[in-house]
Homo-oligomer: A and B are copies of this chain.
Amino acid sequence: MVSEIENKVRSAKKSSVKLASIDTDTKNRALEAMAEALDIHRSFIIQENSKDQEDAKKLMEEGKLSKALVERLKVDNNKIDGMIEGIKDVIQLNDPVGDTLNSIELDEGLELYQVSCPIGVIGVIFESRPDVVPQVMSLCLKSGNATIFKGGSEASHSNRAIFDVLTDAIKHTETVPEDAFQLMETREEVMDVLKQDQYIDLLIPRGSNTFVKFIQDNTRIPVLGHSDGICHAFVDSKANLDTAYDVCYDSKVQYPAVCNAIETLLVHTDIADDFLPYMADMYNKAGVKLCCDEESYEILENLDTINEIYRATEEDWRTEYNDLILSIKVVDSIDNAVDHINNYGSHHTDVIITNDKDNKKLFSSLVDSSSVMIDASTRFADGFRYGKGAEVGISTNKIHARGPVGMEGLVIYKYILIGNGQKVDDYTGQNARKFTHNNLDKRYRDVL
């Protein structure tokens, strides 16, 4: 017996084939229709969202939902403006499908093209933010991927309303298969989605660390994302101190609740006495609580400018505070800094502050993280700041897409070999024809 979810996932898979072959103009027209539909149906969306908000407020009063979560749930005219803006931005982005990544002549008249193509079916599992639906749907449509949406039950009315408005708009274009987009609703279905490795090619989770970790631990489908963001700053003995103050302050204080903020400050012992007191004072004024190792504690404990200073435990080095708390450790070499980062870090984003060219190079080579910063804030690790125009997520995976991921994370490639009857048999054994393996400078789209 085929379950309802399997039916939906199969429909998406089937439609994904057609979606993969649709040209850029057609996709952009569908995106325009989506943006218009959101504008037209504002009051319907806001009305449906108010149902979710009422339910959520009750749960908040019962202590079952946090205020932050209820805030995130809210959809108003400003939020809808943002959704429309987001879709219009995606229209402006280059179509990532159909690019020739490489072309090579195997022999005269036998040409090999490596051409970018959609991945197929993307599963997006997200917590309460309803703005995930238009954002992901527009990116997936532009990159030619079918999509399964599974939102949290708190936003079920809003998600359904937005999803219906968008797919209805797509339906009216009569060129993009609206079956390619499917919304799952009831809470029980998360585990079911995770089991669809036969149909879903990639999962993108959006939510808390615990949520992402749960998904990573319970599926055989590749997951694009990261659970932890334990980022470090290392102030080398050859650091420019003003640069160090700026970068270390911004990396922690500018927005401490996000994954690319630092959790641990490593300081070279030769510079610790000079650097730490003023830095700690800056942090103190911003309300940052400091968890220090033995050596940094000794340097800071008797300063009357510092209010909140504690002794760090082993646990601190592994903790993502996501808050105004920072662990501090003094190290006696760049190697020890690198060891600490590779051992305790989450391979997300780490920064060195140094004027020494060799140390810049060494650090960027040895630190096994998706982004390595040299004299610049870790907070720059972000798809928009990196110029991608959109961010699908930040990945700490070691294969496929790594770091801040734009639409390039939603495409893969296929090889297309164009011949005129060539047989492998002619290229084997005695008197075998030789391959030329000449680089072609040709684009597949100019050939077929």
Contacts and interface: CB of A to CB of B under 8 A. Distances in A.
Contact of A369 (B243, B366, B414): B414
A371 B418 contact: no
A428 B247 CA distance: 15
A425 B254 contact: yes
A398 B368 contact: no
Interface stretch (A129-137, A314-322, A378-386): A378-386
A399 B342 contact: no
A246 B404 contact: no
Interface in A361-387: 361-362, 364-366, 368-377, 379-381, 385-387
Interface stretch (A76-84, A104-112, A158-166): A104-112
Given A202-B398, A414-B369, A421 B243 contact: yes
Interface residues of A, number: 76
A185 to B, nearest CB: 26
A374 B373 CA distance: 46
Q: Which of A243, A249, A404, A416 has the most CB of B within 10 A?
A: A416
Interface in A177-204: 201-202
B222 A364 contact: no
Interface string A380-414: 11000111000000000111111110000000111
A119 B414 contact: no
B417 A373 contact: yes
Query: In terms of DSSP, what is the predominant structure of the interface of chain A?
Result: mixed
Copies in the complex: 2
Nearest to A370: B414
A448 interface: yes
Contacts of A435: 385, 387
A196 to B, nearest CB: 14
A100 to B, nearest CB: 13
A403 B21 CA distance: 20
A404 to B, nearest CB: 7
Interface in A325-380: 338, 342, 357, 360-362, 364-366, 368-377, 379-380
- Shortest beta-carbon contacts, A-B, top 7: A376-B419, A250-B423, A379-B424, A243-B421, A387-B437, A399-B400, A201-B398
30 contacts: A17-B338, A17-B366, A20-B365, A112-B387, A201-B399, A202-B399, A222-B398, A247-B423, A254-B423, A254-B424, A254-B425, A255-B424, A357-B448, A361-B448, A364-B416, A364-B448, A371-B415, A372-B414, A372-B415, A372-B417, A375-B422, A376-B422, A377-B419, A377-B424, A377-B425, A380-B419, A381-B415, A399-B400, A403-B413, A403-B415
Interface of A: 17-18, 20-21, 104, 106, 110, 112, 117, 119-120, 201-202, 220, 222, 240, 242-243, 246-247, 249-250, 254-255, 338, 342, 357, 360-362, 364-366, 368-377, 379-381, 385-387, 397-404, 412-425, 427-428, 435, 437, 448
